[in-house]
Structure formats: C-alpha cells, structure tokens
C-alpha cells in the first residue's frame, strides 16, 4: 500500500503552481528592463503625470491628481452620464484590464477601477481640448499655462505609463459625448500625436489604426503612425489616408528606388558618414516623407536621407518604441529596432552629425553635435541584431562602393593629408618638388641621349 506524502514543501509548492494565472494574450504594458533603463531613466519615467497603475501614487506625480479629478468632473458634466455608469463599465472589464499589464497589480478592486476611470477621463479630456479649443475651460492648467502641455504629452508616450486603448474607446461614446461633434477616439488621438510630432499627411496611417486593426495603447498607436519601410509597404493594401514625417530618426533604405529585401547582415563593419563622405559619397536631403526611405545610388554615389530632427522628444519616442517592439509577446515587425541599428552604425562621432547638419539633412535641437551623437549611441544600447535585417541591401551597397580602390584611395588621402592647412601646404610643396624632379630627370635623359 502506497504511503501518502505529506511533505509541507511539496504541498506549499503545489499550491503556488496551482494558483499561477494563465498567460494572457492581452498583455501589452511592461516595465522597461534595467539594462535599458540605466542609460536614460528620464526617457522611461513619467515626469509630470501618472497614467495607469504602474506609477500611481509616486510623490513626484501627486500634484497632478487634483487636476485629473477636475478633468473627470468636466467629463461627467460633458457627457451627462453618471459616475456609477462609468464605474460599472470599468468594473465589468477589470479582469481584462489587469491582464494587459505584465505584472500583478497590487491595488484593490475599488482602487484599481478608480485609477482607470480618473486616468481615462483625463486622457479623453486632454484629446478633446487639444482638438476643440472651445471646450477648454477658464484657467485650464494645461492649455492656458505656457509649456504645460509640452511637459504632459511626453509622459503619454511612455510604455510604463499606459492604459489599454480599448477602455478609452469604451468610455468615449461620440453619440453622447458632445453635441455637434462627431468624432472617435482614434481620430482625436491621430490629430493629437500627428500635430505634436510635426507629422505631415501621408498615405496608409489611418488604415492601420482603424478597425479591424487593433491598437494596444498610445505607444502602439504612435508606432503605427510611422510609415512602413518600402519593402513592407508593398505587402499591404494601399488606402488613401493621412500620414507623417517625424522628429528624429535617421536612416532607412532602398537602392536605386528598388525596395530591398530583408536578410542577414554579414558584417557590421560599415563605414560611417564621415568615411563615406571622404570616399566620395554625396549626401542629399531626400524628398520622401517616409523616414525609412533612404536611397543610395551606387552609380553616382548619392545617398538620399529624408530630413531628421533630433531632440529630447525623439529620445522619448524611440526608446519606448524599441522596448515595446522587443517585449511584445506577439510577433511584430522590428523595423524600429533595425532603424536604430543602422543609425548607430552610420553615426559614430560628432563629426558624422555635423556633416549631416551641414548638408541640411539633420536639424539638431540638442544644441551641439556631441549631445546628438551621445543620444544616438545611447539608443543603440537597447537594440538587438536579428537574423532578418531590413537594411541589409543598403549596407552591402555602401560597403561595395566604399571598398572600390579609387574610393578607398581618395578617403585615405583626404584623411591623412588634407585635413589641415599645414599638411595641405606640405603636400603642394611635395607635388612641386616631385614635378621639378621629374622634369630634371627627363632633361638629364634627353641630354645623355644627345651625347
């Protein structure tokens, strides 16, 4: 007869395993890994306002709680819907909302529901007041105070500071919200981010954020606002809609107007912008508003890059998009990651940044080339090198051009002999000396032949 094992450790561990919740496919909001956070804590941590439960209650963010409650009050008056109605609506989806966060939320049910409602109403009111100025109240602390919006909206693009997008859609009922205004939360969000990120109208944007496509949260929303790389764009149906340019970025690629195929990058030893310039590559500001659409013509050596703006806002945007791409359980195209990889490869020194500024490709709002270069290198701390790399063809063609003998020789001469006026004088003197020596030698040969 088999004896029953009553080992306390077995019992306790079994209970822990039995209580493990199933992994949720809805999980989309994560903590930023420490390896990335150590480079730029400020780019991942809200500075003014907490959105959602992960940063709620932090001392530095408590000053905004009263304003958020005022926005909730205005939202209730505007919609003419009771507080009880919205609480019941959120409570009915509490389990789904909690499953969107990658960690267990320790707040009680009542506190969690309160956080979601207050923060969701705050976001909806910010979007409404941004789009419709007549909805702003007197003495509004965000829209009537200089620069306050510029402090608030970066926090709305941080991965740890998010609400699931579906709850915003559920609470925003355009049929009962505002008399005379027919809009959706997608349209409000689109206008908000497109305007503040200085995006121009382009194709494909709204087609990728409207149903049946799903938006996880604002970080995902911003990611979907970016144009697809040319090689991906050709795979999706083309629909008319607005689109953008952007603030930061840099490279993407195409060779001779042909969308490049993804592939494995054989080597990361690729010349920098300065090396390419010395080898004869000519830089030109591209006409494309697709930031991924860098074109290199290997025949005439022209590298076209759409205009780039480098700023603190750029860092917040790209760092959080990178983390979202890398942590999302669902399979996503990692073109933001690859975009930062190619940027890091091509920009190694402040001289590379200065060269791009000189050619009108980069607008540097950080003040100097050293700061811009540092930001780019810091971004690269968060990237991974996958087997399938979007800009393989671009790198291969730049390498092919650079390795041609005449281009390498030109780069060597400029680097070692023509970098300073003193060296240039020496080279001119040497050239004159060699020419005179050559003439003297020829004269000597002719004289000897005549004797």
> Higher pLDDT residue, 217 or 204?
217
Torsion of CA 63, 65, 68, 70, to 10 degrees: -90
Strands 308-310 and 282-286: unpaired
| Residue 224, domain member (yes or no) | no
Tokens for 255? 């060779």
> Higher pLDDT residue, 102 or 230?
102
Residues 291 and 432 placed together within one structural domain of the fold: no
| Ramachandran quadrant class, 139 (left: phi over 0; alpha: psi -120 to 50; beta: rest) | left
| Residue 203, domain member (yes or no) | no
| Residue 202, domain member (yes or no) | no
- Domain range for 434: 420-450
Tell me which DSSP letter residue 63 carries.
G
Indicate the residue among 184, 216, 232 that finishes a domain. 184
Q: What per-residue confidence (pLDDT) applies to 447?
A: 73
Residues 50 and 104 placed together within one structural domain of the fold: yes
Confidence of residue 249 (pLDDT cuts 50, 70, 90): very low
> Does the pLDDT value for residue 318 go beyond 60?
yes
Residues 256 and 395 placed together within one structural domain of the fold: yes
* Per-residue pLDDT tens digits for 60-80: 999 999 999 999 999 999 888
Tell me which DSSP letter residue 136 carries.
P
Indicate the residue among 162, 184, 206 that finishes a domain. 184
Residues 336 and 439 placed together within one structural domain of the fold: no
Residues 166 and 262 placed together within one structural domain of the fold: no
> Higher pLDDT residue, 349 or 270?
349
Residues 33 and 59 placed together within one structural domain of the fold: yes
Average pLDDT, the chain: 82
Least confident of 49-53, 95-99, 233-237, 328-332: 233-237
* Per-residue pLDDT tens digits for 223-232: 999 888 876 6
Residues 360 and 398 placed together within one structural domain of the fold: yes
Mean pLDDT calculated for residue range 72-94: 94
Confidence of residue 19 (pLDDT cuts 50, 70, 90): confident
Residues 57 and 178 placed together within one structural domain of the fold: yes
Confidence of residue 328 (pLDDT cuts 50, 70, 90): confident
Tell me which DSSP letter residue 101 carries.
B
CA 228/CA 332 separation, integer angstroms: 12
| Residue 53, domain member (yes or no) | yes
Residues 106 and 62 placed together within one structural domain of the fold: yes
Residues 294 and 434 placed together within one structural domain of the fold: no
| Residue 221, domain member (yes or no) | no
| Residue 235, domain member (yes or no) | no
Q: What per-residue confidence (pLDDT) applies to 239?
A: 36
Residues 410 and 436 placed together within one structural domain of the fold: no
* Per-residue pLDDT tens digits for 361-380: 999 999 889 999 999 898 88
| Residue 300, domain member (yes or no) | yes
Residues 313 and 441 placed together within one structural domain of the fold: no
CA 67/CA 168 separation, integer angstroms: 19
* Per-residue pLDDT tens digits for 123-143: 999 999 999 998 998 889 999
> Does the pLDDT value for residue 244 go beyond 90?
no
Q: What per-residue confidence (pLDDT) applies to 217?
A: 97
| Residue 320, domain member (yes or no) | yes
Indicate the residue among 184, 210, 230 that finishes a domain. 184
Provide the domain count of the chain: 3
Strand order in the sheet with 282-286: 254-255, 295-297, 302-306, 282-286
DSSP 287-300: S-S-TT--EEETTT
Confidence of residue 424 (pLDDT cuts 50, 70, 90): low
């Amino acid at each position: 007869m088999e004896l029953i094992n009553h080992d306390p450790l077995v019992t306790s561990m079994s209970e822990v395993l039995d209580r493990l919740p199933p992994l949720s496919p809805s999980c989309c909001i994560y903590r930023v890994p420490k390896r990335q956070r150590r480079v730029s804590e400020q780019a991942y941590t809200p500075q003014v306002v907490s959105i959602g439960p992960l940063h709620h209650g932090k001392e530095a963010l408590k000053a905004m709680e009263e304003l958020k409650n005022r926005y909730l009050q205005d939202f209730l008056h505007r919609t003419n819907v009771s507080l009880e109605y919205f609480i019941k609506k959120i409570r009915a989806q509490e389990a789904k909302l909690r499953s969107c966060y990658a960690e267990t939320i320790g707040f009680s049910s009542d506190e969690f529901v309160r956080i979601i409602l207050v923060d969701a109403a705050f976001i909806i009111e910010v979007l409404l007041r941004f789009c419709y100025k007549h909805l702003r109240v007197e003495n509004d602390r965000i829209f009537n105070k200089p620069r306050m919006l510029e402090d608030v909206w970066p926090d709305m693009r941080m991965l740890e500071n998010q609400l699931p997008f579906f709850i915003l859609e559920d609470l925003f009922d355009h049929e009962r919200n505002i008399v005379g205004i027919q809009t959706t939360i997608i349209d409000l969000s689109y206008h908000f981010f497109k305007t503040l990120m200085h995006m121009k109208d382009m194709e494909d944007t709204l087609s990728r954020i409207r149903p049946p496509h799903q938006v996880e949260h604002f970080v995902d929303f911003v990611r979907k606002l970016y144009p697809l790389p040319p090689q991906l764009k050709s795979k999706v149906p083309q629909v008319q809609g607005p689109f953008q340019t952007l603030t930061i970025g840099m490279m993407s690629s195409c060779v001779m107007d042909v969308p490049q195929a993804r592939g494995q990058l054989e080597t990361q030893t690729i010349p920098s912008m300065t090396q390419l310039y010395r080898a004869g590559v000519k830089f030109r500001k591209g006409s494309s508003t697709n930031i991924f659409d860098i074109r290199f013509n290997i025949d005439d050596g022209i590298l076209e890059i759409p205009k780039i703006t480098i700023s603190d806002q750029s860092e917040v945007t790209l760092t959080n998009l990178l983390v979202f791409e890398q942590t999302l359980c669902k399979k996503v195209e990692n073109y933001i990651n690859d975009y930062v990889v190619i940027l890091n490869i091509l920009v190694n020194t402040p001289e590379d940044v200065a060269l791009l500024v000189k050619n009108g490709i980069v607008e540097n709002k950080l003040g100097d080339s050293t700061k811009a270069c540092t930001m780019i290198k810091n971004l690269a701390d968060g990237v991974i090198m996958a087997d399938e790399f979007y800009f393989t063809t671009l790198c291969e063609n730049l390498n092919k051009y650079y390795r041609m003998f005449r281009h390498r020789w030109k780069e060597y001469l400029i680097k070692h002999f023509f970098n300073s006026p003193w060296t240039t004088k020496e080279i001119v003197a040497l050239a004159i000396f060699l020419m005179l020596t050559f003439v003297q030698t020829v004269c000597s040969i002719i004289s000897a032949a005549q004797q």
